[in-house]
Amino acid sequence: NAGVTQTPKFRILKIGQSMTLQCTQDMNHNYMYWYRQDPGMGLKLIYYSVGAGITDKGEVPNGYNVSRSTTEDFPLRLELAAPSQTSVYFCASSYSRQGQTQYFGPGTRLLVL
Amino acid sequence: EDQVTQSPEALRLQEGESSSLNCSYTVSGLRGLFWYRQDPGKGPEFLFTLYSAGEEKEKERLKATLTKKESFLHITAPKPEDSATYLCAVNNNNDMRFGAGTRLTVKP
């Protein structure tokens, strides 16, 4: 099992550009999550999904969109990149939401200039 | 509001010098407390889950304990390869809330 994979590893965007961060898991997990991690801060939840076709907002959803068309894939879309979106983004998955371990991908480092 | 506070922010140890990391939490309806290890440039790697006060789990030089208000990650005779950031997270009925982490450096 590859677990959770993310692409790209690193990307530089100009203000106003758009991009999609890819996330795939091969553990057949129902739940998937997108977090951002900023220096000195805990991971913040952006969006999550409880299964194909079902997504919901987390703590910091503004400026982002998600979709979940399959169990395996959960892409994160940035429509109009802003410097405040400079961060490291992690995708995670779990079997359920309560009391279950979340398994993380290697992360995507995004720099918006 | 649910909160997770980790201390210290950074800890420098000599190889073999045992110590503890603290995770204090306030949460409505604890469903689990999780410890993760994160190496620079990598994603968090799962270490332990604790579900109820009094529970303990061990893995090599690491031992995690849980009370009703805090969790400790005890590191016994650490080695340089234990250097990493250790993250604590609490799961309530809906969310996983993470602390900012403790950055551990073990010098040979």
The band of A33, judged by pLDDT with boundaries at 50, 70 and 90, is: very high
Which residue of chain B has the CA closest to A89?
B43
Give A2-30 pLDDT, tens digit per residue.
899 999 999 999 999 999 999 999 999 99
Contacts of A4 in chain B (CB under 8 A): 43
Nearest CB partner across the interface for A42, out of B4, B42, B91: B4
Give B69-101 pLDDT, tens digit per residue.
999 999 999 999 999 999 999 998 778 899 999
Contacts of B91 in chain A (CB under 8 A): 97-100
The Cα B19–Cα B24 span in angstroms is: 17
User: Burial of B9 by CB count in 10 Å (0-12 exposed, 13-18 middle, 19+ buried)?
Assistant: exposed
Q: Would you call B43 and A107 a contact, using CB atoms and an 8 Å cutoff?
A: yes
Q: Would you call B43 and A100 a contact, using CB atoms and an 8 Å cutoff?
A: no
Phi, psi (5° rounding) for residue B5?
Answer: -125, 125
* pLDDT average, residue stretch A26-36: 96
Nearest CB partner across the interface for B51, out of A42, A99, A109: A99
Give B11-59 pLDDT, tens digit per residue.
999 999 999 999 999 988 889 999 999 999 999 999 999 999 999 999 9
DSSP E strands in B1-108: the ranges are 3-7, 10-14, 19-26, 32-38, 45-50, 56-59, 62-66, 70-75, 84-91, 96-98, 102-107
Cβ-Cβ contacts under 8 Å for A77 (sequence gap 6 or more) = A18, A19, A20, A21, A64, A65, A66, A67
Give A84-105 pLDDT, tens digit per residue.
999 999 999 999 877 789 999 9
Phi, psi (5° rounding) for residue B53?
Answer: -55, 135
- At residue B1, does pLDDT exceed 80? no
The Cα B92–Cα B34 span in angstroms is: 12
Q: Would you call A98 and B91 a contact, using CB atoms and an 8 Å cutoff?
A: yes
